[in-house]
């Protein structure tokens, strides 16, 4: 009889231990969420394109121009400036804009592309540098994080690489 009681108590304790072990993450999720939220973590500008420096309003769409992004230690990217044409569903079928990236009043690049037919279709076009500060390329960009032309959500994102001589901040 005593062995039977011990067996029931052991199995009950094991079951309660498994129940507590399964429930603990749900009770601690709020704690872990608060710790991560207050840790000051953020996504690096090399991935998101940096903060928006200026916004240009066009006929039915906007052009968001980011601040230049420079690589940190151990990053293998070239410095670049990100441009976002948004919203993509309001863009004309063919876009061609001369854009002042550094805010000096003179256009720095001419961005031309045909709007992709579908949301998953790659953007095709080119970026022509109008001065020596930036580099020209044909889109979608050849797999570089610093030179690309891609549809991301409801915007067309273009990254224009800075010329190495002018990349010294």
pLDDT in 10s for each residue of the chain, 169 residues: 888 898 999 999 999 999 988 888 888 888 888 888 888 888 888 888 889 999 999 989 999 999 999 988 888 889 999 999 999 888 898 999 999 998 899 999 999 999 877 777 777 899 999 999 999 998 776 677 888 888 888 899 999 999 877 655 5
In this structure, are residues 96 and 114 in contact, taking their beta carbons and an 8 Å threshold? no
Predicted pLDDT of residue 168: 58
| Residues written for the chain | 169
Q: Report the run of H or E that residue 110 belongs to, with start and end.
A: strand 109-114
Token output for 91 = 């863009």
3-class secondary-structure state, position 4: helix
3-class secondary-structure state, position 77: coil
Q: CA–CA separation, 56 vs 101, rounded Å?
A: 11
Q: CA–CA separation, 102 vs 70, rounded Å?
A: 15
Q: Please, where are the H alpha helices in the chain? A: 2-37, 45-48
Which position has the token pair 């863009």? Answer: 91
Q: CA–CA separation, 164 vs 146, rounded Å?
A: 12
């Amino acid at each position: 009889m005593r062995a039977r009681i011990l067996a029931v108590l052991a199995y009950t304790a094991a079951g309660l231990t498994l129940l507590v072990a399964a429930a603990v993450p749900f009770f601690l999720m709020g704690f872990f969420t608060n710790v991560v939220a207050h840790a000051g973590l953020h996504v690096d500008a090399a991935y998101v394109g940096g903060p928006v420096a200026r916004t240009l309003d066009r006929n039915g769409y906007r052009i968001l121009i980011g601040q230049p992004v420079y690589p940190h230690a151990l990053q293998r990217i070239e410095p670049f400036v990100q441009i976002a044409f948004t919203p993509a569903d309001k863009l004309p079928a063919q876009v061609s804009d001369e854009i002042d990236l550094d805010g000096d009043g003179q256009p720095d690049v001419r961005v031309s592309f045909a709007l992709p037919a579908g949301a998953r279709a790659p953007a095709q076009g080119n970026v022509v540098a109008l001065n020596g500060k930036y580099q020209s390329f044909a889109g979608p960009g050849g797999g570089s994080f610093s030179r690309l032309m891609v549809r991301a959500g409801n915007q067309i994102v273009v990254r224009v690489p800075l010329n190495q001589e002018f990349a010294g901040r």
